[in-house]
Structure 1
Amino acid sequence: MFKSIRYKLIILYFLLVFIAMLIVGVFITDQFEKYHLNIVKDNLTYTANNVVRTMIKDVDLIENKDDIQENLIKSTISLGYEISIIEGDSYNIIASTNLDFVDKNAMDVLEKSVILSSLNNRVTEKDIQSENTDSYRIKHMAFSYKEDQSDNLDYIIYGRASLDSVYRTLSNSTVILLRATVIALLVTIVLGYLMAGSITVPINQLTMKALKMAKGDFRQRVTVKSDDEIGQLGSMFNYLTEKLDTTLLEISSEKSKLNAIIKHMEDGLVAIDGKGQIIHYNPSFLSMLNLREKDLTDKSYDKIIDDYSKDLEYGAILQKSISNSSENIIFENNKKRILKASPALFRDEAGRISGAIVVFQDITESQRLEDMRREFVANVSHELKTPITTIKSYSETLLCGALEDKELSKNFVEVIENEADRMSSLVKDLLQLSHMDYEKVVWEMHHLDLREIVTDSVRKLEVHFQNKNQKLNMKISDEAVPIYADRGKIQQVIINLLTNAIKYTPENGNIRISAQVVDKNAIFQIQDSGIGIPKEDIKRIFERFYRVDKGRSRAQGGTGLGLSIAHNIIKQHKGSIKVSSELEKGSIFTVYFPVDNSVDIL
C-alpha cells in the first residue's frame, strides 16, 4: 500500500509538472511572439515619428521631393524596413526606400485599406500575408499627419517590415523550449522518485511531539517524509502547532500595531470607559486640544472637555445614542482652530455599553475654503445683479414710451450697452480664472524682452495718462531684460497694473515705471502717488472680487478680478508679486520673473 501511494504521487507529480511546463511553454511562446512583433511596430513608429517626420517637417514636399528622396535613402533606417512618404492630397508617393514606388499612386502599389484607415485613426497597422505563400506575414503601418490646425491631411508615412525573421526566431525558440522541457521532465522524474522514497514519518516521533505540545510547547514540529495518510497527519500537526504559536504572537503584536496606528493618526482620538475616565488617547488629541500629558493626570474626560463643548460630555454622548442622534459637533479650540468631533459608543460581548470613542478632525482649512466659496458665489451674484437690474429697468422704461424721445432713448441704450459690456467683461474674467484653475489655458511661451512689452503697454495707455495730466517717469534698462513667457498674458498683467495706477492716482499725479535685471530676476515695478492701500487690506487684494473701497472701486469700473488674474498669470510663470503701500501716498507693485538665460535677445 505504501509503494502504491508513492508511485501514484510520482505519476501525479509528473503529470502536473508536464501540464504546468506545457502551459508555461505556450505562454512564453505567445509572449515571445508579441514581444518581437512589438519591437517591429516600435521600430516602424520610431522611424516614422523621429527620423522621417523630422526630415520632412515644415518642408514643402512637392518642391523638395528630390532632396527628400536623397535624404531618405541616406537615412539610418533599419535593414528590412521599407518607408514611403505619401502626399496628402493626391496620394502620390513622394519618396520611398523602394525606388520602384517613387511617383506612383500609393493606392496602386501599397495596401489601400491601411492607407484609408489611417485617415481616421492617424496610426494604423496590419499584418498581411505576402503573395508568396512560403513566406510569413508583412507588417504594414501608416501614419497620417496634420501639421497645422486645419482638417487637411499633409502627408502619410507608410512603413513595411517583413516578419520572416520574427517567425524563424519563434520556430527555433520553440524547438529549444521543447528540448528544455524534456530534460526538465527527466530531472523531475528522478527527483520525484527520490523525494517520494524519503517521505516517511515514524508514528512514535509524532506521538512524542504531540505530548510536548500538550504540555504547552507549541514550537514542536515533525519532519514530514511522505505524502500518504501519515504524512498528511504530520503536516496537519505542524499546521496546528504553527497556528497556535503564531496566534499568541499575533494577539500581542496586534495591540502594538493598533497603538502605532492610533499614535500616528492625523485625527485626534480619545477612548473613554463606562465611568467617564480616559483609557486611551493619541498625540493628535493632545495637540488639537492644546493639552499636555500631565493635564490628564487625575482628571476625568468631562472635566477636560467642558472647556470646549458641553455636547461632548460623556453623558451627552450617551443621551444622543439613546435618541439615535449621530450628528457631529463642531467647535473652536483656544487657538481658533475649528474642530469636528465624531463620538461613537462601543459595547462588550454582552451588548452592554462599556465606553465611547471620540474622533477629532481639524476642519479649519476646509471651513475656510467653504467660506471662500460662499463669498465667491455672493460676490458673483452681486456683480451680475447690478448691471442686470440696470438693463432691465432701462429696457422697461424704453418699452413704456421713452423710445419716442430720441435723445433720452439714446442715453438709455448707451447705459444698457455699458452694463452689457460690464457683464461681458466679468464673464470673460471668470472664464479666464476658471481655465487657470482647471489648467485649460494654452500658454504660448517665447523668449521675450520685458522692456519691449512694458514700452508697448505704456504706449497703449498713453492717452489715459494724458487725460489725467499724470507725469510718467520710465526707468528702463539699457540692456535686454530676457524672460521666457507668454507675451499676451504678461502684457495683460502689466496693463492691469498700469490701469489701476492711472485709476487710483489723481490728476497731475506721478507714476514711475521701471524694468531691469537684478541678480537672477527680471523685475518690473510700478510706483504711483495715488490713494494707497490700507495695511490690513494688502494681504487680500489678490482675492477674487476683493475691493479695498467697494463703492469707489465700482464707480471706477472693473470687475474686481484683475489682480487675481494677474497673480495667477505671474504664478504660472514661476514669478512672484509684492505690494507695499501707504494711505494717501501711493503704492508700489513689484513683479519678479526668472531671467531667461537660454538665448540672447537682440
Structure 2
Amino acid sequence: MLSSRFLWQIWGLLGLALILSTSLVSLLVADQVRRDALNRVEQSLLDQSNALAETAGARIDLGGLLDSEETSRLFTGITSRLTIISESGLVLADNFRDAIDMDNHLDRPEIQLLINEDLEFGVASRFSETLQLSMYYLAFPVKGNQGNQGFLRLAVPLEFIDHQIRALRTRLILGATIVGLVVLLLGYFLALRITIPITEITSLSKNIARGNYQLRLPEVRNDELGVLVKAINELALNVEQTIDQVTVSRNRLAAVLAGLAEGVVAVDSEQQFLHINEAALLMLGISQDDTVGKRFDEVSVFNELKQLIRTCISEQTAVESTINDGAKTIECSCHWMDESGGAKVTGVIMVLEDVTMSARLEEVRSDFVANASHELKTPISAIRGLVETIIDDPEMPADVFDRFMDRIRVQAIRLDVIVQDLLQLSRFDSTTRVREFKAVSLDSVVRQVYQSKQMDASDVQVELRLEVQQEKLWVEGEVEALNQMITNLVDNALKYTDAGGVVTMRINRIGAMAQIEVLDDGIGISKDHSERIFERFYRVDRARSRSLGGTGLGLSIVKHIAQSHRGNVAVRS
C-alpha cells in the first residue's frame, strides 16, 4: 500500500497545502504586525513633533549651529534622534552629531515630501550612514515667531520592530510545525481509508478490461466509492451488451458493403487499408490478399487514384475525379473523415463507380450536339424570315431595310456564338481527346483575362478588380482552356451585375491546389437554381439571358474544363 502513487499524491498535496497556507499566514501576520508597529511609531513621533515645534521654531529664529551636547540639553528627555533643519537645508542642531559636521539635508526624502507635496508631515525609511542603522524618519514643518521657516525631524531605529517580527515568525513556524505534523498524521490514515478501496476497485477493473465481463465488484459501501462500484458493474454489463451489438452491426455493415455495386475503400491517414469491398476489388483488379498489411500507394492500382488519396489526405477535403484507362471509366470520390464527424480514426473513404457505359452515352450525346449545332432552328429561322421579307419587298424603305439587316447580323452572331460554345463543350467533354498539358503560370492567365475584360466591364459600368498573390502559381494544364474557363466566369459575372457594381477576380493557393474565385455583388441566385446552373443550356432567367447574349453553355464549359484539369467548380450565393 505504501507504494501507491495515489496515496502519496493525496498526502503530498495535503502537506503542500499546509506548507503554503502556513507560509502565507506567517507573511500576512508579520506584515500586519510591522504595519501596526510603524503606525504606532509614526503617531508617537508626530506627537513629539507637535510638542517640540515651538522650541524648534525659536531655535530657527536664533540661527547658529549647536553641537550634539547643546542640543541634548536643549531638548532634555528626548530618546529619539532630533534634527533641526533650516529652510535652505542647513542642519542647525542634532542630538546625535555636531551640526557643523553634517551636510545639507534638503535632499532627504522626508524633507522633499514636505517641499513638493502639500502634506502635514513627511516620513521615510532608510539606512542612516551616520548611525549605521535602519531608521524611520518623520519631518515636521515649523515656523518661528519671527517668520523663519524650517523643519523638525525625529527618527527612531527599526531594529526593535524587526526583532519583534523575527520573534513572532519563530513562534508561528514552531506552532505550524506541530500542527502540521498532527494534520499530516491524520491525513495519512484518511488517505489510506480512501486508497485501499480504490486499489481493490482498480485491480478488479483491470480484469474486467481484459474481457472478463462476468466479474462484478462487491457493493458493500454507501458512500461515493460505493456509487463508483455500482457504476463500474453497470459499465461492465453495458460494455458486454454493446460489444454484442457492435459485432452484429459490423456483420450487417459488411454484408451491405459487399452487396453494393459501387466500390468502397477506407484507409487511415497513413494510407493503411481499413476496409475494401468486393466491388472495389473487381474494379481495381486486385485481391483481398494484396491489401493485407499494405498501404494504398503500395498496391498496383491507377496512379491517378493514388494521387487522389494523397491530395485528399494533404488537403483534408473532398476531391473527385474521373479515371479512364481506355477500357473503362471510373468515377472516384474521396471524402476526408475526421473525429469531428464522430469517427474514431482519421482517414479517407473512397467511393468508386464504374460509369463506362454512361461515359460512352455521354460521348455519343456530345457528338450529336456538335453535329446538330449547325442546324439550330431559332436563329436560322429568324434569319430566313428576315431575308425572305427583304426579297419579297424590293421597294422596302431604306430605314426598314437597315433595321432588318441589323437583326440578321445579330442573329448570325448569336448563331456563331452557340456553334462555337457547342464545339468547345464537345472538345472539353471528350474523354478520348489527348490533352497537351504543360506547366502554366495560372496567375499570368488571370492577368491576361483581367486586361482583356477591362473594356467590357467599362461598357457596362462595372468595376473589375484583381487580387493576385505575389508568388507565381504554376499548374499543369492547357493555356487556352484555362483562359476560356476564366473568361466565361468573368463574362457571366459582368452580365448579371448591375451598373455601379464590382466584380473581383481572385487567385490564391490552398495547399497543393490553386483556387480561382470570381466574386460579384449582382442579383444572386437561389439554392434551387445554383445546383443546376452548370447543366447545358440551363438558364435561371431565360429572357434576360437571351437579351444579354447568353447561350446557357458558358458555365457548363467552365465545369468541364475544371474537371479535365483534375479540379472542380462550385457556386456560393
Give TM-score scaled by structure 1 length: 0.34
Largest Rg, 1 or 2: 2
TM-score under structure 2 length normalisation: 0.35
